[in-house]
A and B are shown apart, each in its own frame.
Chain A
Amino acid sequence: MNATENERRQTAQGIWQRLRDVLITPLVRGVARLFSSEPGARPVEPASTGDSGIDSLPAVFLAAAVLDPLYIFDRNAEILYANEAADRAFGPVATGASLRLKFRAPEMHALVNTAAAGSEEPVAINYAERVPVERAYRVVASRIGNDTGLFVLLFKDQSEARRIDRMRADFIANASHELRTPLASIAGFIETLRGPARDDAVARENFLQIMHNQTQRMARLIDDLLSLSRLEMKPYLKPGGQVDIARLVEGVIEAMRHLAGESGVVIESAFPAKPILVAGNPDELVQVFENLLENACKYGGSGGRVLVSAEQASPLDEVRLTVRDFGPGIAEEHIPRITERFYRVDVETSRAQKGTGLGLSIVKHILTRHDARLSVKSKPGKGAAFTVHFPPVPPAVQSSGQ
């Protein structure tokens, strides 16, 4: 028993180390680099004299060149200017809108009030947003010049550091729990192979097969966890490019035909001929539809067919992509929760289908980054429909491709 315990611990340590090498170390380095450069720590340098044109440099040019979110506001905390990074991070604001309405956290109010009251020294706080995506900033407010009545509010993204902490905690909690079951099973079989089943060729073959399956499951689990962690590590930036989502999904369907055939499923699609544009990152969106189609084939395979359709009523309406299966469906009490990590509707089926319990979490995560959402409709016995809703791409942006 003690030997098994030791072995188990060693295997676990090995995995942990591998993870640390491929995952944590590069991340920590990345963050270290981020902090060493310290861009924009002091946005407003006193104008130096000279003939370089610096004296007549308009403040807005300077503010626009800053890559961190930046607001300029007046004594009444009205926003006079927001740079592009600010619009991207916190959404566009109207000129003259109140900074206090935009950032409501008590500590932000205190910061803005202190600055607007004429504090000579820059004041700084840590500011965190929890929803929809966890973000953390170091925020500095300082006055501009001596008596301009203008102030600058500068955000420095520290989400990475925060996310690493959080990820480590989550990872240990989730991974240790999920890896323990296959590990225990492997350890058990090793013990049997050494003892009672030492000379039984049939049992040995059988056990080795099971152990093989378990190690594969652990490998898949780690792949999915890494994939999820990588997504969580990405800074909160909406993907910039544009994708013809209908063609992208057609590509995914082509790639999945093989797997569908294995489960005895026919994938049918109904797409309009003209392109349907959404803003997004093609690789990530491929992952979304791979997961949805894979689920439809695995869990709804008994229906024999899967229907994928796309619709957009008008260019100003949201784009909807639906993956519909005709299998057993999902009971209504499970629907709100299936995107939670490791939430399984039916543990046995999920294990049998080699599920890791992370597929839909990955889907949800990617969609949140895309400002899109997932809705699920299902009745037991009637199959399930997973619909992805993308916000429309404003026509003005459509041609420029951003």
Chain B
Amino acid sequence: MQTQHTMRSFDDELKYLADQIAAMGGYAERMVAESIEALIQSNAGLARKVVADDVFLDEKEREIGERSVIIIGKRQPVADDLREIVGAIRISSDLERIGDLGKNIAKRVVAVTEGRQPMRLFRGLEALAGLALTQLKEVLDIYASRSIERIGFVRDRDEEIDAMYTSLFRELLTYMMEDPRNITACTHLLFCAKNIERIGDHATNIAETVHHIVTGRQMPLERPKEDESHKIVAAPEG
């Protein structure tokens, strides 16, 4: 926690910002989880709820942005306080994007589940979503506790997500080659998978922002790219 300021209300303002980030994080986590649930159980009602929830994130992001500007203007913060506020702006925009990606998955529910799809199409996606959700939760926990020792694992998991995405890409491609009737569902699922992979990237961005807030330094620049789906072609393997 920050050291106490002479003006008690400044602390309150910072605390308010952090609470708002927490609220956004809670919504984003739930939207992602529920969009996947809606997809797997072909639950159109739940999908609609996810789409409606996105409004909350949009509003909160705007609110955090406006408040931050007011705080900066009024208090002229420096050093860690300034990092805290700028960090809040950045994290809120990452969370808002995560909400959009969740919403996008939810919007595809109806298209994917028209005509019952076999469970095996979803199994990989569920596992991928599990990884991304764990990533998001861990990152937000790190923001809450400011304990950046665990931040290394976040990057490891990002690699895992990328590798899993590449594997899933290949699998869905196989299903499409097997039976053209799978093409509609699998194309939508490919976009869903990409969305989940992007969610992982945003979570990693947040980790980097938190690292900067806490230490004042940027995380070292080594972000190996494991997403090799751009190399995958539909030719049968030798």
B26 touches A337 (CB 8 A): no
| Chain A residue at minimum C-beta to C-beta distance from B153 | A373
* A100→B23 contact, CB < 8 A: yes
Pairwise interchain contact A106-B130, C-beta atoms closer than 8 A: no
Judged by a CB distance under 8 angstroms, whether A132 is at the interface is: yes
- In the complex formed, the residue of A with least CB distance to B232 is A333
Closest-by-CB residue of B relative to A104 is: B26
Contact across chains for B127 and A105 when beta carbons are under 8 A apart? no
Chain B proximity mask over A78-102: 1 for CB below 8 Å, otherwise 0? 0000000000000101101110111
| Nearest Cβ on chain B to A299's Cβ, whole angstroms | 18
Stretch at the interface among B81-89, B135-143, B185-193, B213-221: B135-143
Q: Is A332 an interface residue (CB 8 A)?
A: yes
Which residue of the partner chain, among A104, A130, A131, A336, contacts B22 with CB atoms under 8 Å?
A104
Q: Are A333 and B166 in contact (CB under 8 A)?
A: yes
Given contacts A93-B145, A132-B134, A333-B166, contact A105 B124 (CB under 8 A): no
Distance A334 CA – B124 CA, assembled complex (angstroms):
11
Q: Judge whether A106 and B164 touch: CB under 8 Å.
A: no
A173 to B123, CA, bound (A): 12
Contact of B145 among A97, A106, A335 (CB under 8 A): A97
Q: How far is the CB of A171 from chain B (nearest CB, A)?
A: 14
Question: Does the CB pair A337–B127 fall under 8 Å?
Answer: yes
Which of A97, A129, A336 is close to B167, meaning CB atoms less than 8 Å apart? A336
Tell whether, in the assembled complex, residue A106 and residue B30 are in contact, meaning their CB atoms are under 8 Å apart.
Answer: yes
Contacts A104-B29, A131-B137 given; indicate if A332 touches B22 (C-beta within 8 A). Answer: no
Once the chains bind, are A100 and B119 in contact (CB under 8 Å)?
no
Residues of A within 8 A of B80 (CB): none
Contact assessment for B29 and A105 in the assembled complex, using a CB-CB cutoff below 8 Å: yes
Query: Is A268 part of the binding interface, using a Cβ–Cβ cutoff of 8 Å?
Result: no
Interface flag for A109 (CB, 8 Å): yes
The proximity string for B residues 127-164 relative to A, scoring 1 for CB distances below 8 Å and 0 otherwise, is 10010011001001101110000000000100010011
Q: Which of B1-26 contact A (CB under 8 A)?
A: 1, 15, 18-19, 21-23, 25-26
Determine whether the beta carbon of B22 is less than 8 Å from that of A340.
no
Q: Tell me, yes or no, whether A221 is within 8 Å of chain B by CB.
A: no
Query: Is A295's beta carbon under 8 Å from chain B?
Result: no
B171 neighbours in A (Cβ, 8 Å): 333
Tell whether, in the assembled complex, residue A100 and residue B164 are in contact, meaning their CB atoms are under 8 Å apart.
no
Interface size counted on chain B using CB atoms at 8 A? 34
Cβ contact within 8 Å between B23 and A106? yes
Q: Give complex CA distance A159, B23 in Å.
A: 24
Tell me, in angstroms, the Cα distance from A91 to B124 when the chains sit together: 30
B160 neighbours in A (Cβ, 8 Å):
336
Residues of A within 8 A of B141 (CB): 91
Q: Are B26 and A109 in contact (CB under 8 A)?
A: yes
With a 10 A CB-CB cut-off, give which of B21, B23, B140, B143 has the most chain A CB atoms.
B23
Q: Which chain B residue lies CB-closest to A334?
A: B167
Residues of A within 8 A of B21 (CB): 101
Docked complex Cα distance between A132 and B21 (Å): 21
* CB-based nearest B residue for A92: B145
Chain A residues positioned under 8 Å from B170 (CB to CB): 333
Interface string of A325-353 (1 = CB under 8 A from B): 00000001111110010010000000000
The interface residues of chain B lying within 8 Å CB-to-CB of A229 are none
Q: How far is the CB of A69 from chain B (nearest CB, A)?
A: 16
B167 touches A337 (CB 8 A): yes
The reply to whether B33 and A106 contact each other, CB–CB distance below 8 Å, is no
Instruction: Give the complex CA separation of A98 and B124 in angstroms.
Output: 36
The answer to whether A130 and B33 have CB atoms under 8 Å apart is yes
Which of chain A's residues have a CB closer than 8 A to the CB of B30? 105-106
Q: How far does the alpha carbon of A340 sit from the alpha carbon of B167 in the complex, in Å? A: 13
Q: How far is the CA of A85 from the CA of B231 in the complex (A)?
A: 49
Mark A159-175 against chain B: 1 for CB-CB distance below 8 A, else 0: 00000000000000100
Contact A98 B145 (CB under 8 A): no
Determine the chain A residues whose CB is within 8 A of the CB of B1 once the complex forms: 94, 96-97
Residue A158 is within 8 A (CB to CB) of chain B in the complex: no
Say how far B214's CB is from chain A's closest CB, in angstroms.
13
- Check A106/B167 contact, CB under 8 A, given A93-B145, A130-B33: no
Smallest CB separation, A97 vs chain B (Å): 7
Per-residue CB contact flags for chain B residues 95-134 toward chain A (1 = under 8 Å, else 0) read 0000000000000000000000001000110010010011
Instruction: Check A105/B163 contact, CB under 8 A, given A94-B145, A98-B19.
Output: no
Which of A77, A97, A335 is close to B144, meaning CB atoms less than 8 Å apart?
A: A97
Question: Across the two chains, which residue of chain A brings its CB closest to B26?
Answer: A104
The interface centre, meaning the residue of B22, B170, B171 with most chain A CB atoms within 10 A of its CB, is: B22
CA A96 to CA B11, docked complex, whole Å? 13
- Shortest Cβ distance from B24 into A: residue: A104
Q: Is B15's CB under 8 angstroms from A76's CB?
A: yes
Given contacts A131-B133, A336-B164, contact A102 B144 (CB under 8 A): yes
Contact of B124 among A97, A132, A335, A337 (CB under 8 A): A337
CB interface residues, A 304-332, toward B, < 8 Å: 332
CA of A132 to CA of B29, assembled, Å = 13
Does the CB pair A98–B167 fall under 8 Å? Answer: no
Q: Of A97, A108, A132, A335, which one neighbours B163 at CB under 8 angstroms? A: A335
- B29 and A98 contacting across the interface, CB-CB below 8 Å: no
9 A-B pairs (CB sep. < 8 Å) = A93-B145, A101-B18, A104-B29, A108-B26, A109-B26, A130-B33, A130-B130, A132-B134, A340-B123
Chain B interface (Cβ within 8 Å of chain A)? 1, 15, 18-19, 21-23, 25-27, 29-30, 33, 119, 123-124, 127, 130, 133-134, 137, 140-141, 143-145, 156, 160, 163-164, 166-167, 170-171
Known: A76-B15, A101-B143, A104-B26. 6 other contacts (CB 8 A): A91-B141, A101-B22, A105-B30, A131-B137, A132-B137, A375-B156
| Top 4 A-B residue pairs of the complex, sorted by shortest distance between their CB atoms | A104-B26, A101-B144, A336-B164, A131-B134
